């Protein structure tokens, strides 16, 4: 068990990739705080599942786009689970639409939750991490932060901001014993992107070198690696988990 006696907080942990991350961290012995905003029932179910498997878990309500709520999430985690060592900034939303039709709130809300959530979570955890000279932060970004997609300009920009922030934060926080890395999933069929993968599923799969979508577990296993002792010399990286999609030029073949 690589995360025995460690405490992790996963934002947006009740569903999708966040849920898989919570399960994977707990299976390595970590106590896990599952943050949720609206999915209370799913969060409580997950906590039961974590406890049934022999780890400690708690559900914490809170909106990561609100700095004060991010602070109280961290405080609650430390108070109830006895510390904090791993922060997974995972919470994210999409509001896909063409730029031509995009309203100010369509990009501002996506930016506030996706990038604002990473910023608020990171800042909230810092005094704990700096005082103990130990902490790993894993930001769940997206390959969309490095490449473009029609209808996802707002989402893509928010993820690009996360990648840039990850590098700067890693450089600034290294001397305090804190590592910061990002994971960039390709297409993982979760509720968040259901519309996209349902509509374009076959066509998208054909374009991925490994010919399949990411399983949420594929993302979670990299998060566990980055959270744990096997990656102690890694910081400031943005690692794709995308079946080779972003390595490829165009379709990687004539047609």
Return the active site residues: 155
What is the maximum span of the chain, computed from C-alpha positions, in angstroms? 58
Is residue 32 within 8 Å of residue 22, measured between CB atoms?
yes
**3-class state of residue 134 by DSSP:** coil
DSSP-derived pairing of the beta strands 135-140 and 86-89: parallel
- The nearest distance, CB 175 to another protein, in angstroms, is 6
Q: What DSSP string runs through 71-129? A: HHHHHHHHHHHS---EEEE---------GGG--HHHHHHHIIIIIHHHHHHHHHHHHHH
| x/- map, 133-172, another protein, by CB under 8 A | x--------------------------------------x
Least distance in angstroms from the C-beta of 130 to another protein:
5
Interface with another protein, residue 212, by CB under 8 A: no
What φ, ψ does residue 229 adopt, rounded to 5°? -75, -10
Binders of another protein: how many residues, by CB under 8 A?
Answer: 7
Q: How far is CA 64 from CA 71, 115, 214, in A?
A: 9, 10, 25
Report in angstroms how near the CB of residue 193 gets to another protein at its nearest.
39
Give the Cα separation of 184 and 5 in Å (integer). Answer: 27
The SS3 call for residue 149 is coil
Among 68, 99, 131, 247, binds another protein (CB under 8 A): 131
132 touches another protein by CB under 8 A: yes
Q: Does 71 bind another protein (CB under 8 A)?
A: no
Q: Taking CB under 8 A as the rule, does residue 130 contact another protein?
A: yes
- Enumerate residues 169-188 that contact another protein by CB under 8 A: 172, 175-176
Give the residue with the Cβ less far from another protein, 142 or 235. Answer: 235
Minimal distance, residue 69 CB to another protein, in Å: 23
Tell me which stretch binds another protein (CB under 8 A): 51-59, 82-90, 127-135, 224-232.
127-135
Binding site for another protein (CB under 8 A): 130-133, 172, 175-176
């Amino acid at each position: 068990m690589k995360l025995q006696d460690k405490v992790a907080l996963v934002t947006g942990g009740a569903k999708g990739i966040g849920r898989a991350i919570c399960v994977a961290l707990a299976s390595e012995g970590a106590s896990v705080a599952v943050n949720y905003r609206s999915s209370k029932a799913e969060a409580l179910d997950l906590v039961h599942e974590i406890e049934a498997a022999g780890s400690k878990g708690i559900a914490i309500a809170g909106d990561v786009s609100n700095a004060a709520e991010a602070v109280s999430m961290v405080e609650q985690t430390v108070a109830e689970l006895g510390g904090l060592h791993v922060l997974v900034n995972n919470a994210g939303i999409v509001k896909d639409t063409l730029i031509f039709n995009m309203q100010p709130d369509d990009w501002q809300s996506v930016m506030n939750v996706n990038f604002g959530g990473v910023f608020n979570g990171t800042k909230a955890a810092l005094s704990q991490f700096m005082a103990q000279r130990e902490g790993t932060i894993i930001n769940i970004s997206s390959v969309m932060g490095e490449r473009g997609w029609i209808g996802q300009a707002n989402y893509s920009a928010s993820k690009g901001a996360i990648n840039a922030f990850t590098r700067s934060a890693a450089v600034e926080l290294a001397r305090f014993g804190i590592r910061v890395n990002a994971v960039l999933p390709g297409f993982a069929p979760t509720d968040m992107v259901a519309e996209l993968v349902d509509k374009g599923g076959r066509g998208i799969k054909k374009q991925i070198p490994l010919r399949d979508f990411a399983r949420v577990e594929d993302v979670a296993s990299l998060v566990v690696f980055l959270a744990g002792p096997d990656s102690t010399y890694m910081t400031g990286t943005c690692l794709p988990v995308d079946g080779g999609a972003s390595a490829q030029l165009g379709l990687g073949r004539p047609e």
